[in-house]
Amino acid sequence: MQDHTIERIQQNPKFQELVRKKSGLSWLLSFVMLVIYYGFILVIAFSPATLGQSLSGGVTTIGIPIGIMIILSVFVITGIYVRRANTEFDQLTREVVEDAKK
């Protein structure tokens, strides 16, 4: 790409909005995942008996469904990002590309 085209794109308010929204969402979802993951690790470190309690008197502990929920939370967080990317972010990207072609 030519330098003046790159500068025009970077100065486009829609491009700046796209960068701001993508960055904000990425940081938010990263923070949520870190809280979930490190919260689980902290419970393991400081109160292992909590996750080691039996669910129904058998060998399955509370930690197993919680661990599964943590894994599923990754899919949910990814789905949230993909949904926003396929709707809002793609629309802004198309607008930026159209403005750059002018």
Q: Following DSSP, what letter does each residue of 76-88 receive, concatenated?
A: HHHHHHHHHIIII
**Domain count for the chain:** 1
Range of the domain at 40: 1-101
State CA 94 to chain mean position distance. Answer: 22
Give per-residue pLDDT as tens, 39-50.
999 999 999 999
Residue 1 has pLDDT above 60, yes or no: no
Q: Give the global pTM.
A: 0.82
State CA 63 to chain mean position distance. Answer: 24
Query: How many Cα atoms sit within 13 Å of 12 on the Cβ side?
Result: 22
Give per-residue pLDDT as tens, 48-87.
999 999 988 888 999 999 999 999 999 999 999 999 999 9
| Cα 61 to Cα 55: distance, rounded to the nearest angstrom | 5
Residue 2 has pLDDT above 90, yes or no: no
